[in-house]
Structure 1
Amino acid sequence: MTSAAEPTPPPAGGVLWSLAGDIRGLLMLPAALTLQVAHPAVGAGVDDHSVFRTDPWGRGERSLRSLQLWVYGGEAAAEEGRRLRRLHRTIRGTDTRGRPYHALTPAHYAWVHATGFPVYQHASRYLVRPLTAAQERALYREWLQVGRILGIHDRDMPPTIEAFRPYYRRMLAEEVEATAVVRELVAVDARVPPPDRGPFLVRLLLRALWPVVLPPLARFRRFLTIGLMPAEAREAIGLAWTPRQERRLRRFGAVVRRTVPLLPERLRYLPLARAARAEWRSGRGFRPRPGGSAPSV
């Protein structure tokens, strides 16, 4: 059992429980990552210390597993939070504005986490369905709970969704910019190596076809990254978005909304989420605490 002294994952059956493990969440992640690194300190830390250029597939896999543990990991969630804090202790330097940064500076660490909420809120309108006011409030409460797992103190995050809005507007107005890492993440000519994991024959085929596959894949990634980022955020960063692109995104979202719910659970949910959902249904674990559940999406 998880110790009472340790932070616990958000409740089973809640809003985040439904969103985080759904394969549609994979389409939302690039927008959240790009908004994170639009902060000069976060962008500099990633630029200076991350292996996203040399090992993009490995880094992506590790980041995705980490996120899944925060929500579906049970007692492993708190240990994953401690591991991440240990990993970030030595990440420090100077950002593009000449300011010293440290990855665990509360304001920087909180921003990395905070970006997930507006991206989930915005992208769900296209790929899942718009969240109700009650679901948005529940999602924010659950996101604060995940923040505690990561070691973010309550005093470093706005305590309510109402308090989040002015904080978010201030960060967009005063901090975010098109950092070097942002420009790299939305570039259509990025040098990304072919996948180095997965079934051998698939990797072999992709390696052969990669010069043909990469350009349209890069364009699609840019399209989703910018489109699934909240409008006020992409405007603050200076990422262009046209009415024609908006119409394309709405058409794409309509197809995704209709198609994904028809998939069997083994294809719709990521492995950790699928296992957690099965355990919850069987009554072996992941039971929501009284008053902790929220409407599913």
Structure 2
Amino acid sequence: MKLLRIGAKGAEKPAILAEDGSIRDLSGIVDDIGGATLGADGLAKIAAADISSLPQLDAGDRIGPCVANVGKFICIGLNYADHAAETGAPIPAEPILFMKATSAIIGPNDDVIIPKNSIKPDWEVELGVVIGKEARYVDEADALDYVAGYCVVNDLSERHFQTERGGQWVKGKSADTFGPIGPWMVTRDEVADPQQLGMWLEVDGKRFQDGSTKTMIFGVAHVVAYVSQFMSLQPGDIITTGTPPGVGMGVKPEPVWLKPGNVMRLGIEGLGEQQQSVKAWSA
């Protein structure tokens, strides 16, 4: 199933992408696409519905973040061998964890705002993993049982804030609008192997990232199991799992940074596409 949320910010309706391409309103089935819905019971309730009989929503309406009320937005750093190489960083011995503020989350096609005092804004297409049931100290062999589904994430970064302002990476990752997610969450049963997904990102029509989840250092199952050793994972939490090469900071001979007027397009095989216009910050 491809689950999404349609409508103005703060007034999104839960929805499903039907097989005929129409968008159907799930408001009569579930309250929202969030933690309470993403467990086995909630997804089974949606799966049992007669989708063709549900009200049709306007496909031209705004698509909101595909998951509502995300509790934790957890990120894995330098998780692609080829991306680590382009940044000059060593291959991590264990997954690098950091957090991204949930206030960064926006819809997949909403505008991205360059924050005040930004110098080096950058892009990162990533596979997002949406948790479906509470996970504590899970084994890697069982880890995917705790996954509700997957989505596209643009893990936008301000590299100056991230690496040159001291402290942890979170300050370079958490600006408002720096977390587009969606267009939909694809349930786990529709993704045969999360380690075999092509992914790409373009800026103004030029392709910068063209990779695959197969080059992850630590795969999805390992990451879910690993994170659960340090904190419980709750339904609706999102883990974004790292980016392949081609980020702006890695461009040679000179890095390329986002600027107002740019348009980013990005996608992951089977998980849909995003498009964001880049705007300047204003008071």
TM-score between the two structures when normalised by the length of structure 1: 0.27
Q: Which has the higher strand share?
A: 2
Q: Which structure is higher in RCO with an 8 Å CA cutoff and minimum separation 6?
A: 1
Q: Which has the higher helix share?
A: 1
TM-score between the two structures when normalised by the length of structure 2: 0.28
